[in-house]
A and B are shown apart, each in its own frame.
Chain A
Amino acid sequence: MFKTIFKQVRQYKTAAILTPIWTAAEVVMGVLIPYVTASIIDKGINAGSMPDVYRYGIYMLLMALLSLMFGILAGRFAAYSSTGIAANLREAMYRNIQRFSFSDIDKYSTAGLVTRMTTDVANVQNAIQMLLRVSFRAPLNLISSVVMCFFINAKLSIIFIVAITILATMLTLIIKRASKLFQEIFKKYDNLNAVVQENVSAIRVVKAFVREHHELGKLDRAALSLYKLNVSAEAIMALNGPIMNIVVYGSIISLSWFGAHYIVEGTLTTGQLTSLFSYVMMVLQALMMLSMIFVQLTMSSASVKRIAQVIEEEPDMDNPESPITEVEDGSIEFEHVYFSYKKGGDYALEDINLKIESGQTIGIIGGTGSGKSTLGSLVCRLYDVSRGKVKVAGVDVKRYDLTALRNQVAVVLQNNTLFSGTIIDNLRWGKEDATEEECRQACIAACADEFISSLPNGYHTKVEQGGANFSGGQKQRLCIARALLKRPKILILDDSTSAVDTATDGKIRKTFKVEMQETTKIIISHRISSICHADKIVVMEDGLIKGFDTHDNLLAGNEIYKDIYNMQTSGGQGDFDEIT
C-alpha cells in the first residue's frame, strides 16, 4: 500500500532525501546550543570572564543563524517534495482512471474518485510533509540529546533512559488503543454523512411525507454513537499530557536531587545542570512528536489505502498485442454472445446471434432492462463479452486497437455529457481538427444548426458544465453532431433522441439515410416510431433476442413487437414527448 506512494516520489527523490538531511543539520545545531549555553554559564559567568561570555555568545549566535538557514531549507524542501509527490499521486490516479474500462468505472462513484484525488491526496501530502520534517527530527533530537547528556554526565543519563522507556511504553499503549478507536470513528463519520447526504438529496420526499422528525432521530443516533466513540478515543488521548507531565516532573526532581549531589561533590557544574534540564525537555518533546506522527499516520493510512486502490486498479481491458488499426467496413456479427456485468452474476445477454451487414440500419427495441443498451456497448468494446465473440468487419473486436475501433464505431450514449467550453470545442471532440464548416455540416445533419445559429454567439456560445444551459433535446442533437464528425463506419444511437420531438427525430433519420449510406446505423429506442423504418429490427426481452426481422414481418408474427406497437399507436397510447 505504502509502496504505491513511494513509487510516486520520482523526480522529487532528491528533495525528499535532502529534507531530512537539512532537518538533521538543524537538529544538530539546536542540540548544540544548550551545550554552548552551559559553557557560557560555566566558563563565562561562573569564572567571571566576560570575554568567554562574548566568545560563546558569538558561537551561539552563529549556530542560531546556521540553524535558521537549515530550518528554512528543510521547510522549503519539505514543501517542495510533499506538494510534488501529491501532484504525482493525483496525476497517477488521473492517468489510471483514463485507462479504466467501463466496468472499472462502474466500480467507483464520481464523488468517490473526486474525494480520492482531492481530500485524500491533501491528507497524504500533509502526512508526507510532517513525516519528512518531524519523523527525522524527533528521533534525531532524542538520540542527540541522550548523547549530549552522556557526554555531560554518564550517570545522570540513566535518568533519561528510564524516562524515555516509561514514556515510550505509555505512549505506545495509548496510541494503540486510540488508533483502533479512530478507525471506527471514521466509519461512524461516514454513517453520519450518509444520513445528511441522503436527507439533503431526498428533501422533497422527507418533506412530502412529513418525516423531518424521523430523520432527526436517525441523525441523533448517528451523532450519539460518534460522540461516544470520540469521547472514549479522546479521553485516552487526554492521558498524553498528564503522563508527559509526570515523566518530566519526575526527571526534574531526580535531576535536581542527583545533580545537587554531583555539584557539591564537584563532578558537575551548575551550567551543565541547566543544559541537562533543557535536554530533558527536548527528549520529551521529541517523544510527543513521535506519538503525534503515529496518530497522523493512522489517520492518513485510510487515505493512502483509497489512493492506492485507484492507482493499482488493473484495468480489465487492454490493447491487444499487434493490434489491427484498420476497420474495413461496418458489418457486425454476434456469435453466441453471453454477457454479465459482474463475474458470475446473472447474464444480461444470453446467447446472442446476429449478423448485420455494412450500411444497414438496425433498430433495437425492448423494455427497460431488456439488454438493448448492453448489446450496443459490446460493439465498440466498452465491455468485454463473457462468452462468445463480437466481430466488426469480420474481425473479433478484441483484436482491434481500441482507439481505432472506437473512432470507427461511434456511440452516442444514453447519458451523454457535454463539457464546459464552446459548442465548437465540444464538437471537435469528434474530430480534433474539424473546420467550422465541417462542424456546421454535422450540425445540419443532426438538426442542431437551426438552434445554434439562432444563438447570439452561434457556434462560439459557451457550454456550461454538463451542458446545463441547453435543453435535453438540444443536448442530444449536439451529441449526435459530435458523433457524426467522426465519420464512423458504425453509428450507435442509444436512446439518443428521446428528448427530441418526433418530427425532428424523423428528419434526422432521413438525413442519415441519404447522407450516410455507407455507415451501419444502430438505433436503440423504446419508441416504435424511431425504429420502425429500419432495415431490420431486433426485439429484445430479458437479455434474449425475441425477434430479428423487418417491421412488417415482426408485426405479422412477433407477439412482443405487436404488443409494443399496439400500445404506442392504437388507442392513442402514444408518447407526449417534450417539445421545447
Chain B
Amino acid sequence: MSDRRGNLKISTVARLFKLILQKNKWKIAVVLLCILVSTLATLASTLFTKTLLDEYVVPMLKSGLRDYSPIAAALFRLGVVLGIGVIASYSYNLLTVYISQGTLKALRHSLFEHMEKLPLSYFDSRSHGDIMSVYTNDVDTLRQVIGQTIPRLFQSVVTVVSTFVSMLVLSIPLSLVSVIMAVIMFFTTRYLGKLSKKHFKKRQQMLGTVNGYIEEMVSGQRVIKVYCHENKTTEEFSILNNQLRQSVYNANKIGNIVMPVNGNIGNLGYVLIATVGAAVALSSLSGFFFCGLNGSALTLGALVAFLTLHKNFTRPVSQISNEINSIVMAVAGADRVYELLDQKAEENEGSVTLHKEGDGKWNWRTKDGRSVPLKGEVSLSDVDFSYVKGKQILYDINLTAYPGQKIAFVGGTGAGKTTITNLINRFYEIQEGRITYDGFNIREIEKNSLRQSLGIVLQETHLFTGSVFDNIRYGRLDATEADCIKAAKLVLADSFIRRLPNGYHTIISADGGNLSHGEKQLLSIARAAVAAPPVLILDEATSSIDTRTEKLIQSGMDSLMQGRTTFVIAHRLSTILNADYIMVMDKGRIIERGKHHELLALRGKYYELFTGNQIIS
C-alpha cells in the first residue's frame, strides 16, 4: 500500500506477490532460473573480451605463431553457452506472458465476482467512473508491474550482483569506483524524483480540474449553445488548459532529465576507471593493493573487460532507480484493487430457500426440509432506516400487504417511497424493526431466493447490450422466444419491437441508446412480466410512458398485477387509483393511509395533493 507521500506499504506488496505466486509457483521458479542463466550468458560474452585478448591474441602477438584453432574452440564453447542463454531468455519471456496475463485474468474474475457480492451501498456511495477505473487503469498498471517491472527488476538484480562479482575478481579498487558512481546515480535519481514529486502532484491536481471542467461543460453543451456561451467557455478553458500544460511541462521536464544525467554519470565513471586503470596498469603500483580477488594484477585485457562491466553495472542501477516511481504507482493501483476486494460482501445468512414446483407454484423450503407454499404476504413493523448514520430517512413504518393486494405509495421527493422497496428486497438492511415475508423474517430467507420472488421495475431503465430477446429473457433465462413475445404483447411492447430493423433480434446498443425512454420502460416491464414473480415492485415504472399509451397498457399491467402482491410508486393517479391501500408519505413517515375515497374524505395531505392538480375542474 502506498500513501500520498509515495511510501510503500509492505502488506500490499506482499499480497501482490502472493497473488502472482499462487498458481504459478513452478513457472516462477523456471523464470527465475532462466533469467539467471541468460544473465550469466550475457556476462560470459562480456568477459570473453578479456579472455580473447589476454589468453589468445596477446600470446599470439608475442610468440608470432599463427594458430587460430584455440580461438575457434573457445568461440565454439562460448557459442554453446550463449545458445543456452538464448533459449533461457525466450523461455522466461514466454512464461512471463502466461504468468502476467493469467494473473490478470484471474484478478479480473475475482474482482468482478467479489463486486457482484457487494451491497448496493457500495455502488451508491461512489461514482461509477471510480469503480470502472479499478478495472481499467489499476489493473493495467499491475499488468506492467507483473509483466515487465518485476522480471526486469530481478534481471537487474542478477546483472548487478553477477557483474559486481566479476568486477571484484578483476580489480577491487576499480570496483569501488564503480560502486561510488552507482551510488551517486541512485541518489541523483532519487533527488530528481523528489524534485519532480511536487510537480507531479500539481499535475495530477490540474488534470483533475481540467477533466472536471471538460466533463461539466461537455455535458451542458446544449445549454452553452442556447445561451451563446461558446466564446466565454473557450476562454475559461484556454486558461485552465494553459495551466495544465505548464504543470505537465514542469513535471515532464524533470522526468526527461533523468536519462541523460544517469547516462553521463556512467560516462564519467568510464573516464575515471579508464584513467585510474591505465595509471595502475602502467605504474608499478600493481601489487597487492590494486589486484582483484583472483590475486593477479590488472592486465590490459582485464581493464578493457572492466570498462564494459562498468557499463553493465551502472545501467541496471539507473534502471532500478528509474522504476521505483512506476512501482510506487503500481502499488497505488494494487491498493485500489485490494480496496475493492476487501469490501465487505453482502450478508446472506438466511437459509429458507425458494423453489418452483412442477405445477408452477412457488414453495419456501426451510433448513429442516419443511415446505411452505408462497403466499406473498409482506409485512413491515416498526421499521426505522437511515442510509447515513444520523440522517434518518424512515421512521416507524408499519404496514402489511396481504397476498394479492396492491399497495401504493405517494409523496414528494425524499419522502422515502423508494427506500421502503429497497428494504424489502434487502438492497439495504434495516436498523430497527422487522420485515417479514410469509411469516419469515426476511433475514432468514436466502437472499437470492428473496430477490427472485420479487419482480422490480425501476424508473431508471437499464438494458444490456444484446438483442431484444436477450433483454426480455433477462427476467427468466430459460424463457422461450414464445414466452418473450407473449410478455411483450402483454405490455404492448410487441408493436414497436416489430418495427425495429431486426424485430426481436435487433441488437440494443449501450443502455438502449436507440430507443426512447418510454420504449425502454416497456421493455423493462416485459422483462419483469416474463419473470412472473410472486410479488411485484413497480417504482415509477410507467413515468416516461405518455398518458395515452399508459392507458392502452393499463389492461396489460392489470393482468400482470392480477393475483400478485404489488407495491406501486407512482405520481400518476391513474396508476394508484384502484390500489387496496394508498400510503401517503411525508418526510419518512406514513401520514395517511386508506383507499382513494377514504383518503379524499379525510381532507388531509392526500386531498391537498389530489385537488392541487385539479385547477381546471
Stretch at the interface among B130-138, B159-167, B395-403: B130-138
Residue B123 interfacial (CB < 8 Å): yes
- Shortest beta-carbon distance from A406 to chain B in Å: 5
Bound CA span A189–B221, Å: 29
- Shortest CB distance B10–A (Å): 29
Which positions 338-360 of chain B face chain A at CB distance < 8 Å? none
B547 touches A367 (CB 8 A): yes
Shortest Cβ distance from A75 into B: residue: B256
Q: B242: which A residues are within 8 A, CB to CB? A: 87
Is B555 interfacial (CB 8 A cutoff)? no
Question: Is the beta-carbon distance between B71 and A256 smaller than 8 angstroms?
Answer: yes
Q: At the interface, yes or no: B96 with Cβ under 8 Å from chain A?
A: yes
Q: Is A572 an interface residue, CB under 8 A from the partner? A: yes
Binds A, one of B20-28, B224-232, B386-394, B483-491: B224-232
Distance in Å from the Cβ of B322 to the closest Cβ of chain A?
14
**Cβ of A45 and Cβ of B281 under 8 Å apart?**
yes
- C-beta contact mask, A400-431 vs B, less than 8 Å → 1, else 0? 00110011001101011101100000000110
Q: Is A78's CB under 8 angstroms from B256's CB?
A: yes
Residues A572 and B573 in contact in the complex (CB < 8 Å), given A118-B211, A257-B72: yes
A429 touches which of B227, B264, B425 (Cβ 8 Å): B227
Instruction: For chain A, residues 195 to 237, give those with C-beta under 8 angstroms from any C-beta of chain B.
Output: 196-212, 214-216, 219-220, 223-224, 226-227, 230-231, 234-235
Known: A215-B116, A367-B549. A380 touches B216 (CB 8 A): no
The interface residues of chain A lying within 8 Å CB-to-CB of B228 are: 402-403, 406-407
Closest residue of chain B to A367 (Cβ to Cβ) is B546
Quick check: which of A52-60, A154-162, A349-357, A437-445 contacts chain B, the rest being far away? A52-60
Measured between beta carbons, the chain A residues less than 8 angstroms from B576 are 576
Interface segment among A167-175, A240-248, A300-308, A389-397: the answer is A240-248
Chain A residues near B52 (CB-CB < 8 A):
256, 259-260
Residues of B within 8 A of A199 (CB): 112, 115-116
Task: Decide: B244 and A204 in contact? CB cutoff 8 A.
Answer: no
Q: Are A253 and B79 in contact (CB under 8 A)?
A: yes
B49 touching A277 by the CB < 8 A rule?
Answer: yes
Contact with A along B583-617 (1 / 0, CB 8 A): 00000000000001000000000000110111111
B33 touches A (CB below 8 Å): no
Minimum CB–CB distance from A431 to chain B (whole Å) comes to 10
A105-B222, A576-B571 are known contacts. Are A71 and B260 too (CB-CB below 8 A)? Answer: yes
B345 smallest CB distance to A (angstroms): 11
* A381 to B112 Cα, complex, angstroms: 46
Whether, in the assembled complex, A61 has its beta carbon less than 8 Å from a beta carbon of chain B, the answer is: yes
- The answer to whether B253 and A227 touch across the interface, beta carbons within 8 angstroms, is no
Identify which of A90, A263, A572, A580 contacts B413 (C-beta below 8 A): A580
How distant is the Cα of A91 from the Cα of B244 in the complex, in angstroms? 12
A577 and B216 in contact (CB under 8 A), knowing A71-B260, A219-B108, A234-B147? no
Does A519 lie at the interface of the complex (its beta carbon under 8 Å from any beta carbon of B)?
no
Chain B residues whose CB sits within 8 angstroms of the CB of A30 once the complex forms: 263
Chain B residue at minimal CB-CB distance from A85:
B245
Q: Does A358 contact B (CB under 8 A)?
A: no
From known contacts A71-B259, A235-B94, A245-B89, infer whether A575 and B281 are also in contact, taking CB-CB under 8 Å. Answer: no
**Chain A min CB distance to B97 (Å):** 4
* A117: interface (CB < 8 Å): yes
Q: Are A212 and B48 within 8 A (Cβ)?
A: no
Q: Do A211 and B474 touch (CB < 8 A)?
A: yes
Cα(A160)–Cα(B303), bound, Å: 25
Taking a contact as CB atoms under 8 Å apart, the answer to whether A75 and B222 are in contact is: no
Cβ contact within 8 Å between B300 and A270: yes
Contact B101 A227 (CB under 8 A): yes
Could you tell me the distance between the alpha carbons of A563 and B574 in the complex, rounded to whole angstroms?
14
**Contacts A576-B571, A577-B571: A264 and B57 contacting too (C-beta < 8 A)?**
yes
Render B430-455 as a binary contact track against A, CB cut-off 8 A, 1 for contact. Answer: 00000000000000000010011011
A579 contacts B612, C-beta separation under 8 Å: yes
Q: At the interface with chain A, which of B327-335, B373-381, B457-465, B556-564?
A: B457-465
Cα of A253 to Cα of B448 in the assembled complex, Å: 69
A interface footprint on B402-415 (CB within 8 Å = 1, 0 otherwise): 00000000101110
B573 and A574 form a contact (CB under 8 A): yes
A290 at the interface (CB under 8 A from B): no
Residues of A within 8 A of B245 (CB): 83-84, 86-87
A257 to B548, CA, bound (A): 93
Whether B93 pairs with A528 at a CB distance below 8 angstroms is no
Considering the chains assembled together, what is the distance between the CA atoms of A201 and B615 in angstroms?
A: 40
Taken together as a complex, chains A and B put the C-alpha atoms of A87 and B87 apart, in Å, by 46
| Chain A residue nearest to B76 in the complex (CB) | A253
Q: A68-B264, A72-B257 are in contact. Are A578 and B214 (CB under 8 A)?
A: no
* Residue B271, interface by CB 8 Å: yes
The complex places the Cα of A380 from the Cα of B573 at a distance, in Å, of 36
Cβ-defined contact, B546 with A526, below 8 A = yes
Tell me, in angstroms, the Cα distance from A15 to B477 when the chains sit together. Answer: 61
Q: Give the residues in chain A near B275, CB-CB below 8 Å.
A: 40, 53-54, 57
Chain B residues in 8 Å Cβ range of A198: 462, 464-465, 510-511
Q: A68-B264, A95-B234 are in contact. Are A567 and B551 (CB under 8 A)?
A: yes
Which residues of A in the span 504-559 have a Cβ within 8 Å of any Cβ on B? 506, 526, 528-529, 532
Q: How large is the interface on B (under 10, 10 to 19, 20 to 34, 35 or more residues)?
A: 35 or more
In the complex, whether B482 has a CB less than 8 A from a CB of chain A is no
Are B256 and A114 in contact (CB-based, < 8 A)? Answer: no
Complex Cα spacing A513 to B612, Å: 21
Type the 1/0 row for A260-272, where 1 means its CB is closer than 8 Å to any CB of B: 1101100000110
**Contact yes or no, A45 B222, CB < 8 A:** no
Main DSSP-derived SS at the B contact region = helix
- CB distance A577 to B613 under 8 Å? yes
Within 8 A of A (CB), among B99-130: 101-102, 104-105, 108-109, 112-113, 115-117, 120, 123, 128
The stretch from B60-68, B171-179, B285-293, B364-372 touching chain A is: B60-68
| CB-based A-B contact count at 8 angstroms | 435
Give the distance to chain B from A565, nearest Cβ to Cβ, in Å. Answer: 8
Contacts of B274 in A (CB 8 A): 37, 40-41, 53, 57, 60
Q: Are B244 and A67 in contact (CB under 8 A)?
A: no
Using A41-B304, A219-B112, A465-B216 as known contacts, say yes or no to A502 and B48 having CB atoms under 8 A apart: no
The complex places the Cα of A128 from the Cα of B211 at a distance, in Å, of 21
Q: Is the CB of A223 within 8 A of B105?
A: yes
B412 touches A578 (CB 8 A): yes
Contact status B214-A79, CB under 8 Å: no
With both beta carbons as reference points, the residue of chain A lying nearest to B544 in the complex is identified as A368
Contact among A223, A429, A567 with B548 in the assembled complex (CB-CB below 8 Å): A567
Flag whether A382 is at the interface (Cβ < 8 A): yes
Question: Which chain B residues border A420 with CB–CB below 8 Å?
Answer: 216
What separation, in Å, do the CA atoms of A528 and B206 have in the docked complex?
49
**Which of B231, B264, B307 touches A274 (beta carbons < 8 Å)?**
B307
Interface bits B223-260 vs A (CB < 8 Å: 1, else 0):
11111111111100110011011001100110111011
Q: Decide if A17 is an interface residue (CB 8 Å cutoff).
A: no
A277 touches B308 (CB 8 A): yes
The complex places the Cα of A195 from the Cα of B413 at a distance, in Å, of 32
Q: How far is the CA of A365 from the CA of B89 in the complex (A)?
A: 74
Partner of A242, one of B89, B117, B613: B89
Which chain A residues lie closer than 8 Å to B362 at the CB level? Answer: none
The distance in angstroms between the C-alpha atoms of A503 and B57, with both chains bound, is: 105
CB of A13 closer than 8 Å to a CB of B: no
Residue pair B218, A114 in contact (C-beta under 8 Å):
yes
Contact (Cβ within 8 A) B214 A114: yes
Which of B75, B231, B615 contacts A253, CB < 8 Å? B75
* A569: Cβ under 8 A from any B Cβ: yes
Would you give 28 A-B contacts (Cβ < 8 Å), ordered by A? A26-B260, A37-B274, A53-B274, A67-B267, A76-B257, A79-B256, A90-B244, A102-B225, A110-B219, A189-B136, A201-B511, A202-B511, A203-B120, A204-B427, A204-B458, A204-B462, A207-B120, A208-B454, A224-B105, A238-B90, A238-B97, A241-B90, A260-B57, A277-B308, A406-B226, A529-B613, A569-B617, A576-B570
Instruction: List 7 A-B pairs, minimum CB-CB distance, nearest first.
Output: A71-B260, A75-B256, A367-B546, A202-B462, A238-B93, A87-B245, A417-B220
